[in-house]
Amino acid sequence: MTEQRVQTSEALRVGVLLALAGGYLDAYTYLCRGGVFANAETGNMVLLGVKLAAGNWAGAAKYLPPIFAFFLGVLVAEVIRRRGKAAVSSKLHWRQWVLALEIVVLAAAAFLPMGGGWDMAVNWAVSFVCALQVESFRRVHGKAYVTTMCTGNLRSGTELLYQFFQTRDRDILHSALRYYHVILSFIVGAAASGVLAGVLGQWSVLVACALLAVVLVVLSRAEVTTRF
């Protein structure tokens, strides 16, 4: 069994927790907020193009706010990152500030009732939060990954699995399995949301806040030793 020291933000446990939150939020917006997947903007961009091609300007306009919310989230994450790195005396790491902002935004969303324009506002908020997360947490053990969607993770994990069968290099296998850990965590998060949404309704988003709060605490360590 090998050991590898990594920065805490790149530890598998952080990736797993963030993927749990990512899957949870995607299912939450679908089940509780109008049948929308708010984590990624590809679908919104496709529908924007379709509406524009049909000359439906009003229909196209409704897809712009979530795309802009994601755009804004990336910008805000970069601002926090640059200011955090410049403030060397800060007790909190810049990623902890990002997580704190995510928690505040999602907690505020929990107070918005389900239905109508409120659902749209919550979906924009989730798009903003997911952009913060995507921009701030990009790697697990040095490998690029995403915690709010799974297509890229599935591609990377399968590519590495093929490389393992060709080389029998166990380090490559471990890297592949980390991707599948993240994918499984995303699915588990979505399943948990499916169970809790029927019980807690709009308040079920607070479970995602709790997951992010755990990550906030975990990041208090500078690095961890991972045995895998």
Give residue 83's identity as a one-letter amino acid code.
R
- Window from 14-18, 24-28, 217-221, 224-228 with minimum mean pLDDT: 224-228
| Per-residue pLDDT, 50 | 94
Burial (CB < 10 A; 0-12, 13-18, 19+), residue 23, is: buried
d(CA 2, CA 170): 10
Instruction: Please state the pTM of the whole predicted model.
Output: 0.91
Name the nearest CA neighbour of 99 among 225, 210, 186. Answer: 210
Both tokens of 49, joined, read 């193009």
pLDDT digits (tens, 9 = 90+) for 17-44: 999 999 999 999 999 998 888 888 888 8
d(CA 16, CA 55): 43
For the chain, where are the alpha helices, taking DSSP H only? 12-32, 42-53, 57-61, 64-86, 94-110, 116-136, 151-167, 170-200, 205-218
pLDDT digits (tens, 9 = 90+) for 54-110: 999 988 888 899 999 999 999 999 999 998 877 766 678 899 999 999 999 999 999
| Per-residue pLDDT, 85 | 78
| Per-residue pLDDT, 226 | 52
d(CA 131, CA 25): 13
d(CA 59, CA 83): 38
Run of H or E residues at 223: strand 223-227
pLDDT at 225 over 80: no
